[in-house]
Amino acid sequence: MLPNGGSYTSMDSLNYQDIFKEDENSGTKLPPIPALTWEVKANDRYYHWQFKEKVFLCCQRNRYKTNIIHTAKYNVFTFLPLNLYEQFHRVSNLYFLLIIILQGIPEISTLPWFTLFAPLVCLLIIRAARDLVDDIGRHRSDTAINNRPCQILVGKRFLCSKWKDLCVGDVVCLQKDSIVPADMLLLASTEPSSLCYVETADVDGETNLKFRQALAVTHHELNNTRKMATFQGKVVCEKPNSRMHNFVGSLEWKGKKYPLDSGNILLRGCKIRNTDACYGLVIYAGFDTKIMKNCGKIHLKRTKLDHLVNRLVVMIFLFLVLVSMALALGFKYKIREFRTKHYYISSNYKRTDTTESFFTFWGFLILLSVMVPMALFIIAEFIYLGNSIFINWDAQMYYAPLDTPAKARSTSLNDQLGQVEYIFSDKTGTLTQNIMTFKKCCINGHIYGPDNEDTLPKVNPYLWNEFADGKLLFHNKELLSAVRAKKDKVVQEFWRLLALCHTVMVQEQNNQLLYQAASPDEEALVTAARNFGYVFLSRTQDTITVAELGQERVYKVLAMMDFNSVRKRMSVLVRNPEGSICLYTKGADMVLFQRLSKRDVTEAATEEALAAFAEQTLRTLCLAYKEVDKDAYEAWSLRHQEANLLLQNRAQALHQLYEEMEQNLQLLGATAIEDRLQDGVPDTIRCLKNGNIKVWVLTGDKQETAVNIGFACQLLSEDMIILEEKEIVHMLEGYWDSNNNLQNGKGRFLQQVKTAMVITGDFLDQLMIPSSKDKSKTLHQNVPADEAWQEPNQQQEAWPTWWLPQMWRSFVERLGGMRETLRLRGAKPHESPEVRRERAFVDLAVRCQAVICCRVTPKQKALIVMLIRKHRGVVTLAIGDGANDVNMIKTADIGVGLVGQEGMQAVQNSDYVLAQFCFLQRLLLVHGRWSYMRVCKFLRYFIYKTLASMMAQIWFAFYSGFTAQPLYEGWFLALFNLLYSTLPVLYIGLFEQDVSAKKCLQMPELYMAGQKEELFNYWVFFQALAHGMATSLINFFVTLLACHDKGGPSSFSDYQSFGVILALSGLLSVTMEVILIIKYWTILTVLAILLSLSCYVIMTCASQSLWLFKTSPRTFPFLYADRNVLSQPFPLLVILLNVSLNTLSVLAFRIIYQIVKKPRLKVEEVPSEEIMVEPIQYLQRESRARRSSYAFSHREGYANLITQGTIMRRARDTNSELLNDDQPPSEDEIPPSFRDPTWHPRRLSFLVKRKHQRKEKISSEGMKLFVRKETEPKPDIPPPPTEESFVTEQPMEVEPWTLERQPSSMEWLSVTVEDQFQPAMAEQPPSPPEKE
């Protein structure tokens, strides 16, 4: 019933493994080397245009796509046929089309053909206009994106162009803060060693700043525009795919091959940060890019009520067919009897009885077609449009700081807003503001928080510090006094640690210090130390310069021990100016407390402080230090140097040395950072949970960060048991032991306690797509020893991802052996193991009070939504603000886009637009609930009033010889649903309220009625059917008895008078019913009822006038029929009797039902230890202590880059003059096709030096580590493993590169005069050939 790609059936028939078929080698598994069939040649468009691929039969298209994207559904040529195709997938439209065709046949037509044709055309036009408006918005979004500016290398110049002009193989120049237009290979940058810093929050949701690095060969060789123009390298890589964090390929250039991985690739949608300029080669363009591969397709979204109405239309149609067949059989009997009695006129009937009955059947089908009124669908469109406008007009969902109101981009999903059961939310930018603020700290057991507003100083307390950052809002007079007094050594070491132990880089811009940090957490800590007088000024390869309360001190860096998710700490070993050696460490409390020298009062006080910080959902970090003996350091340093030179197990040896050094620490204190949530997020989630709406967080960010935000927004609570991955596997195994029912045994435990599930995308892949035994063995054998190494004396929190296939093997074996005993909810015996695994996981997840999925890709987000829709059959809502949320938004039943700072991709692909997450509460509980209630009441009343008036046609057939003669005037049939009873129905659909908006928010439990589909379902439909049938029976037979055997000039027993009495009785009866059911009365209610009755009076007087009767007696046969009936008192009494019987009987029934109905007592099950008969051993663990939620890295940070000098700027860096060489062309030099009136010359950024800063010298030892002689063999040192080396981005090994001493690599070659005077058309790129 739905278009391809948009049906629920097509989506539900898929499973996780089918959709991931092309990505089955992604994630933690070690796949075989993919086929490298994608070839990209630099600066050669003609090379790529010669490749074609078959589309259909003989049709071909270019294999390499352009960078133009089209997310719209229609264009000028496809709009009409495609939209009509979609609209006639609605059963109701097909039904109306069939009736119109039948009405065009004179032999069987009982009503004029235009009575249905005109409303159907009106309905199609309304829906087409709505779809057109939505699609125009997509076209505008596509145009804005395709016309973004960029600089493409054409000839020997970078010319300003647009994204849509990019092709595979082009060389592109990107400036700071610009968005990457396509997936590109990084060739060079203005940063040292061609590093490039990118922000991927809009791609994968991670807030940490990442770095990409060009190959050494392109870094040294491609150091000016001329060389880039002559670059003829060839990239051979895998075909375009959706694996965001994986890339395999090689660069072939000058007869050599250089391996490529994801660390060399800039993905479309990333933003360039802290890099003046970088240069890349386009590898994938347009829809071949990874982010577009993850965006998914546009699905036609239909509501539950829409599907139900479709099924009801089928039921009504089948009912009408059966009734028409029965009446046709009655006609056959009657006509046979009539011909037997009146044989003398049988010559007038030339057709047989069967033929006459056949035509009568179709006549009845046309006559009774009014029971599926076209007006229902037309009025529904106006109701949907009106409720969408009310959302747009809601002033309480207007966000003044961004000047952004709420917006309903789709007008057909309003009622489904009142039936949502699952909300899938992104984290970064959706729940949080991504703003880190230094909130509190604990030093030596004493907590320092912000001063009260009453005690805040009127003058800035940091005026004495010329380096103070005015953006820091943390003020504490007591702590500031302790710092400036210089008497407390612990306070001094606390702030000194924050100024030294980090990987922040610093620049001076406009005479101000500018920090560049890998994460906002680290920047907040260094900024806090800066304001309290410990200012990080600069760093070199082996020194850090700090201004301590105005005194500049230089510390020599002896070793840096970086963060990762296993260590959960960072340390720096330094020698101070006095010659003492100190180790400064910061990290998670559970890690540092195990390494303290002794337990004292300070540790106990700090633990209490951490518990207090935890209650406030602050992100905590513990600080410790120790003084290192010089002899011990010398011995340790020798072993450290030896470990650095190891070719195997290097990371394991280094970690063991770090562990040895990081012992016997002295606790200094703890910091507390607030990851600021958006306003009202905790209250919104609490209110939604009270409305039985479950909120799942799907984020690409790290687990620690996501869990902390879960506590902050009160999605998680301290009394919840968070299921770990190994426990999930055990419970799923027990799922089958307990006869495939979580209600037994372990399932009972889940109902008695509060549980939460926190999983990663890799773990989800392993559950949904388990490896075979052979793959498991291969995987186990290929895991490096470094990756399997664990911290000594550290309990493993979660099983390594490479153990999962082995763990899952037993579950798969049990699954295969229990096919006959399958008892899943809704399961089928012939289901595949993949579907059973999905169902088992979903059944476990939905029993948890909270679910958080971390490190998930955009496609995985959509697949999780799909699993819930497929196996639970509930209404889902997805909300996000970035491009990584687009696929999830498209897959969910309802997509909500937040207006964020990073692009508008989510907004342009959403159904509703909000400025803040807290507005979701009002959108669902108020507008969603009202819309659902209004539409349900509208449908029920419309069905009732239609049957109450039109069922009389069936009763009349028994008294008209089954001749399919209409009972009512033709104009009454045409205008009853369109005009006479429209306004009250429209009022119900637009303005009806059972409770106020304030009550809706105060009592979110009312929302559950929509989730349970209580207001409109099959039972409600049959109630309306019975009610309408009873009303029609009363009206018909009371009138029939009243006019039985009546005669004379004042009699109203004639056909027309009988029809008029029935019409008035039906109209007034349904009007009284609408008066009874409306709860929200306004002046509009009275006007709607009066205007509807007035329309009947006016139109009846017009259609029964003498002038129209003379004009067309056949079309207007009821001359003065209403006036003749209403002029007599007896007909009026009959009408009054009919209306009174209908109204009083309904009132009596409802009063009796309310008296007899017993109130339903809701008994809440309270968890009790007595009920827990079978405790689960692997869930019995100690009460969860407070754990740090600092945003640890999942891979090694910038420590290696700093200690090797790779990240340091030097006076004569290889690419330091890229900007100087790349001067913007003059207007005359730009080809006409590339001229852009909005183009402006680029500004050059320079580093402004302070007067007090002295020039640092780079030590010779550091240079020896960086520069190698060409004669030295280059050892093949494996990169240090990280926890996610098989999952996300491949860790980049930053090795000391060989600097080729070529004059051209350090000096720029100016463009020759001949090059400058080349014709402009020679530099213009060739136009792509036309598609075949």
For residue 569, give the H/E element and its range.
strand 569-575
Distance CA 657, CA 677 (A): 39
| Measured CA angle at 1257 (ends 1253, 1263), to 5 deg | 145
For residue 586, give the H/E element and its range.
strand 581-587
CA neighbor of 140 nearest in space, from 67, 65, 70, 68: 70
Distance CA 368, CA 809 (A): 62
Q: Which two tokens stand for residue 436?
A: 């880190």
CA neighbor of 1227 nearest in space, from 1216, 1218, 1236: 1236
CA neighbor of 968 nearest in space, from 978, 958, 956: 956
Distance CA 626, CA 608 (A): 23
Cβ of 371: how many Cβ atoms within 10 Å?
Answer: 20
Sheet with 149-154: strands ordered across: 157-162, 149-154, 171-175, 277-284, 183-189, 265-266
In the block, residue with structure tokens 């970064």: 428
Distance CA 969, CA 953 (A): 12
3-class secondary structure, 501: coil
CA neighbor of 858 nearest in space, from 1261, 4, 268: 268
Query: Beta strand 894-898 with 875-880: parallel, antiparallel or unpaired?
Result: parallel
| Measured CA angle at 241 (ends 237, 243), to 5 deg | 100
Counting other chains too, the contacts that 5-11 makes at CB distance below 8 Å and 24 or more residues apart are 5/297, 5/298, 5/299, 5/300, 6/86, 6/298, 6/299, 6/300, 6/301, 6/302, 7/300, 8/302, 8/307, 8/869, 11/299, 11/866, 11/869, 11/870, 11/891
Residues 6 or more apart whose CB falls under 8 angstroms from that of 642 comprise none
Residues 6 or more apart whose CB falls under 8 angstroms from that of 699 comprise 205, 426, 427, 428, 706, 852, 853, 854, 856
Angle of helix 520-531 relative to helix 489-500, nearest 10 degrees, comes to 140
Q: What is the DSSP string of 504-515?
A: -EEEEETTEEEE
Whole-angstrom CA distances from 466 to 21, 311, 538, 1067, 1254 are 59, 74, 16, 83, 18
Q: Which two tokens stand for residue 36?
A: 């490298």
Q: Which two tokens stand for residue 491?
A: 């306070």
| Measured CA angle at 443 (ends 441, 446), to 5 deg | 90
By the 8 A CB rule, do 569 and 586 touch? Answer: yes
Phi, psi of 1007 (to 5 degrees): -65, -25
Phi, psi of 758 (to 5 degrees): -125, 110
Active site residues: 426
Query: Whats the size of the chain, residue-wise?
Result: 1332
Report the greatest alpha carbon distance in the chain: 133
Residues 6 or more apart whose CB falls under 8 angstroms from that of 1251 comprise none
